[in-house]
Amino acid sequence: MSNFSRFEILGYTNKDFKGEPAVFKAQLNPESFDRILEFTAAEQKTRHKSGKDGKETILSGEKYRLDLVLDGTGAVDLEGKGDISTKVDEFLNAIYFKTVDQKSRKEGRKPRFLKMYYCNEIHTCVISSLTIKYSLFSRDGKPLRAKLTCEFSSVGFPLDGDEKKKELESREKTAASKEELASQNGDVEKMKESAYEKDYHTIHPVHPDKPAKPDESVE
């Protein structure tokens, strides 16, 4: 059961954060996490004054900066040993998705709406900047370690620990429902097979004193 003790991102294609998300789980937590609060002061325009009105300053948004290290040397995670490109692609798939313009038919990329779990909060945001730096390579030139320097812009404001708990319970409930549905589908298939066999033997009864005829098609 996940408790979001490690850095995790859930990426959605829509702003309502509904549907099946693309998921990324970090091997290591970031060493630091910068949370920048942005304030906007309203413009003051009167007959004798102009400029910013400090009394009308409001919190307009947040930015988040962090570094993620992905390691394929086996020092961190033996299961992740090897070419780190797959883990990088997993991160990229979580933060954006491919689109095709209906008129030009050109392929593009759109950022996903993210739920970023860290510092005991859920930060709803989108990626605004990403730098990938590869530092170690195998003998055949495959990358074994990557440092991802990320910056995110907020969408709304962070949700506290209680909301995080509700989110966790909701995800666990969804997973349990899927398992139950899969189990029910399996039971239905068994019932169908049983009913089929029953109907077949009803239509083609075998007389107790008369052995069944061999298949005439077999010589």
pTM of the model: 0.68
Question: Residue 1's pLDDT band (boundaries 50, 70, 90)?
Answer: very low
Q: What is d(CA 118, CA 157) in angstroms, rounded to the nearest whole number?
A: 14
pLDDT at 199 over 60: no
**Joined tokens for residue 60:** 């307009």
Question: Residue 217's pLDDT band (boundaries 50, 70, 90)?
Answer: very low
pLDDT at 149 over 90: yes
Question: Residue 12's pLDDT band (boundaries 50, 70, 90)?
Answer: very high
**Joined tokens for residue 119:** 């510092």
Average pLDDT of the segment spanning 47-51: 57
- What does the CA dihedral 174, 178, 183, 189 come to, rounded to 10 degrees? 150
Which tops the pLDDT comparison, 163 or 114?
Answer: 114
Q: What is d(CA 136, CA 77) in angstroms, rounded to the nearest whole number?
A: 16
pLDDT score for 158:
82
- Per DSSP bridges, beta strands 96-100 and 50-71 are unpaired
62-79 confidence digits (pLDDT tens): 999 999 999 999 888 877
Query: Tokens 């899969």 appear where?
Result: 182
Annotate the chain with three-state secondary structure: CCCCCCCEEEEECCCCCCCCCEEEECCCCCCCEEEEEEEEEEEEECCCCEEEEEEEEEEEEEEEEEEEEEECCCCCCHHHCCCCHHHHHHHHHHHEEEEECCCCCCEEEEECEEEEEECCEEEEEEEEEEEEEEEEECCCCCEEEEEEEEEEEECCCCECHHHHHHHHHHHHHHHHHHHHHHHHHHHHHHHHHHHHHHHHHHHCCCCCCCCCCCCCCCC
Average pLDDT over the chain reads 80
pLDDT score for 107:
87
pLDDT score for 49:
58
- What residue spans define the domains of the chain? 8-159, 160-204
Which tops the pLDDT comparison, 101 or 79?
Answer: 101
Specify burial of residue 117 (Cβ count, 10 A radius: 0-12, 13-18, 19+).
buried
CATH fold of 8-159 reads: Elongation Factor Tu (Ef-tu); domain 3 (2.40.30)
Highest mean pLDDT among 23-37, 44-58, 160-174: 23-37
pLDDT score for 209:
56
Q: Which of 9, 33, 30, 29 is nearest to 21 (CA)?
A: 9
